[in-house]
Amino acid sequence: MTLPFSQTNLSEFGLNQFDIVEMNERTILIKKWNWDYSLAHKFQRHCLELLEDYSNIRFIICCSHPRVFTNGRGLQKPKKGETLSLVEFDKSLASTLPYPFFQIERGGGLTFHHPGQMIIYPILRLNPKTLSLSAMIDTLFDEAINVLKDWGIEGLSHENKLLGLWHGERKLASMGIAIERLSTFHGMALNFHDDLEMKKALTLVNPCGLNSETYTSVEELMSLGTKSLEVFSNEYLRRLSHAWK
């Protein structure tokens, strides 16, 4: 087991030592599909505590969750001169949702998770000279774009007044970050496979303040053939490990 986790009871978080890999000398990967959201959230908090003693280490969590809704601190605010037509989620309706609901610390509004997503939680110490928040977010989006461009999907961009990874007017990935003591947690959720049950549930809400029809997936944008979420995540993480040596 890598040094930062030598005193950690991994089973407390639903993990084992085979879920943890050293990507490079500074970056530790934790990979777990269909991970219980509450356990993953608790583990993010644990990694934040470890950063107090291992500030030069980056923890990258790659995972998915069972169907769940999470709600952040609030929707994106418009810049001066902008107008954003976003619909705030009424938290009094949380008990009527068909899947568990969590109120959490990240920025952004209501979003959704399901087993067909790839979620990346970067837990690392920001540094204005070596890795700023904006540079970190750009890299998370850019490496997804690079993989998908190699797969034949053109026209992806995160240069939009609304934060996210976009294919024209359709949103492929969402981003919501929290920062405590200059360290980040939460992160990016990229829709890889469609989830018909979650799609049905999204008609009841406005994810990130948007109409549910705004969202797309890799599976909608291309014929996957032999491509899989596992293949995508491996290619994505390989690129990320080179970007963050």
Catalytic (active-site) positions: 208
Distance CA 123, CA 140 (A): 13
Nearest to 66 by CA among 109, 105, 114, 26: 114
Beta-ladder partners of 144: none
| Burial of 226 per CB tally in 10 Å (0-12, 13-18, 19+) | exposed
Residue 196 DSSP one-character state:
H
Distance CA 175, CA 61 (A): 14
Distance CA 5, CA 8 (A): 5
For strands 101-103 and 68-74, give the pairing. Answer: parallel
- Phi/psi of residue 108, each to 5°? 100, 175
Distance CA 175, CA 119 (A): 10
